[in-house]
């Protein structure tokens, strides 16, 4: 039904503008979340069971399938996502300063490849606005991750304080925090994956988290989201920094600046990060490498190229403790979430 009825309608919105479909979907889900009992009823149909729950970096997840950052940046539809079967949600990426993001159009579907190119540029209302919204929600009833990034107006040399500001504002509301240093759509951001920059950033965030915990707030795990374009040696260096600082886990992977398998597509020349089916192989190999390099000691959230339950199973078999979807939801609809919940061990 999704492929034959819903998806064609969504793809025609805004004369085919993918961002219009995105915003209309969020608006509809926001309304859905206001219907009493809908999230709970949907969760019962999600395909997850009591056996599906698992505890990772000290958090109990009712199911291992989560919504990746980027879909609900400002947390406008947080009551609705459990109705689609998600066991956790990651909002953001959010920045210390509100920002409109890059110029439109900035989101493109490569339908025949089940892929998306985006150059959104961390468009969001800012961490202060997100904190106010999360305070109004109260208890969501499921784990919430918050992805934090650098504001575009902030120079690279001031990036640490930018991240720390967002962490401080949002600390009481998130169950875990994802440090996004791997988006290709903010100039200079990926330089923060270099060992020296990364150590400084993670040390400051870790120290801030400890200070907030000492002030009476519960401790929160901090994770790092990495790019799929890093070499094996660069990943190993990054993992060494994460282990030294005491980072709780890795999210692998973000979008790629490469164009594997879509080079001949008319939209391949658009700048931005590529996601979807072209990332399936790379994501699985990256997860397997991290798992082997850390001996399984560092939990991994696997994300990238999940369009079938077998893709999610492959990431778990490679060493992921949890998985996240975004592009797969665009092409396969919410039924994919239920099928994955039923397929994962």
Active site residues: 183
Angle ∠(44,46,50) on CA atoms, nearest 5: 65
Q: Which stretch of DSSP H or E encloses residue 340?
A: helix 335-343
Q: Whole-angstrom Cα distance, residue 325 to residue 36?
A: 26
Residue 99: how many CB atoms within 10 A of its CB? Answer: 18
* Contact indicator for 95, 248 with CB cutoff of 8 Å: no
Q: What percent of the residues of the chain are helix, what percent strand, and what percent coil, each to the nearest 5?
A: 45, 15, 40
Residue 116 sits at φ, ψ, to 5 deg, of -135, 140
* Tokens coding 99: 């920002």
* Residues forming beta bridges with residue 318, ordered by sequence position: none
Question: What span, in angstroms and rounded, lies between the C-alpha atoms of 206 and 64?
Answer: 26
Identify the residue whose tokens are 């509301």: 173
């Amino acid at each position: 039904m999704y492929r034959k009825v819903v998806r064609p309608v969504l793809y025609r919105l805004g004369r085919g503008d993918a961002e219009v479909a995105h915003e209309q979907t969020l608006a509809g889900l926001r309304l859905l979340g206001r219907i009493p009992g809908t999230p709970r009823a949907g969760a019962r149909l999600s395909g997850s069971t009591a056996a599906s729950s698992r505890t990772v970096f000290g958090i109990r997840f009712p199911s291992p399938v989560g919504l990746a950052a980027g879909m609900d940046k400002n947390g406008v539809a947080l009551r609705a996502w459990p109705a689609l079967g998600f066991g956790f949600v990651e909002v953001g990426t959010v920045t210390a300063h509100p920002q409109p993001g890059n110029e439109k159009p900035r989101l493109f579907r490569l339908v025949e490849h089940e892929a998306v190119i985006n150059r959104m540029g961390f468009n969001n209302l800012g961490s202060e606005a997100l904190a106010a919204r999360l305070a109004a929600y109260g208890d969501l009833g499921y784990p919430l991750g918050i992805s934090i990034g650098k504001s575009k107006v902030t120079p690279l040399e001031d990036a640490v304080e930018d991240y720390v500001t967002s962490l401080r504002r949002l600390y009481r509301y998130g169950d875990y925090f994802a440090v996004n240093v791997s988006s290709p759509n903010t100039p200079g951001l990926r330089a923060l994956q270099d060992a020296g920059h990364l150590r400084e950033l993670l040390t400051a965030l870790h120290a801030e988290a400890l200070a907030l915990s000492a002030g009476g707030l519960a401790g929160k795990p901090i994770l790092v989201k990495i790019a799929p374009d890093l070499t094996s040696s660069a990943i190993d260096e990054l993992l060494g920094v994460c282990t030294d600082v005491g980072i709780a886990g890795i999210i692998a992977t973000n979008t790629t600046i490469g164009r594997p398998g879509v080079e001949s597509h008319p939209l391949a020349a658009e700048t931005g990060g590529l996601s979807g089916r072209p990332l399936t192989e790379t994501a699985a190999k990256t997860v397997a490498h991290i798992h082997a390099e850390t001996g399984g000691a560092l939990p991994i959230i696997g994300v990238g190229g999940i369009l079938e339950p077998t893709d999610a199973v492959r990431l778990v078999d490679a060493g992921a403790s949890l998985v996240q979807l975004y592009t797969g939801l665009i092409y396969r609809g919410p039924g994919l979430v239920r099928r994955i919940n039923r397929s994962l061990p």
